[in-house]
Amino acid sequence: MTQVKAEDSAAVKKHICTICGKHSDTVICHACEDKLRGEALDQKRGVEKGGK
């Protein structure tokens, strides 16, 4: 992609979820993001947090 207007994402969801392919306001919809986050946490289990 050459043109990216992330600052103009006011009301229209112009992104497509890279996981499920649905329209989302982010590159990954909240559902998939939550799922990925859960998997990440599962993989990082036992690893010290970065402190976010």
Given the complex with Zn ion, which of 18 and 44 has the nearer CB atom?
18
Write down the residue that tokens 């392919």 correspond to.
21
Alpha helices for the chain (secondary structure H): 30-43
Given the complex with Zn ion, which of 13 and 44 has the nearer CB atom?
13
Instruction: Give the three-class secondary structure for 24.
Output: strand
Q: Which of 16, 19, 25, 35 binds Zn ion (CB under 5 A)?
A: 19
Question: How far is the C-alpha of 32 from the C-alpha of 52, rounded, in Å?
Answer: 20
Based on the shown chain and the rule CB under 5 A, indicate whether residue 27 belongs to the binding site for Zn ion.
no
Based on the shown chain and the rule CB under 5 A, indicate whether residue 36 belongs to the binding site for Zn ion.
no
Name the residues that contact Zn ion, by CB under 5 A: 17, 19-20, 29, 32
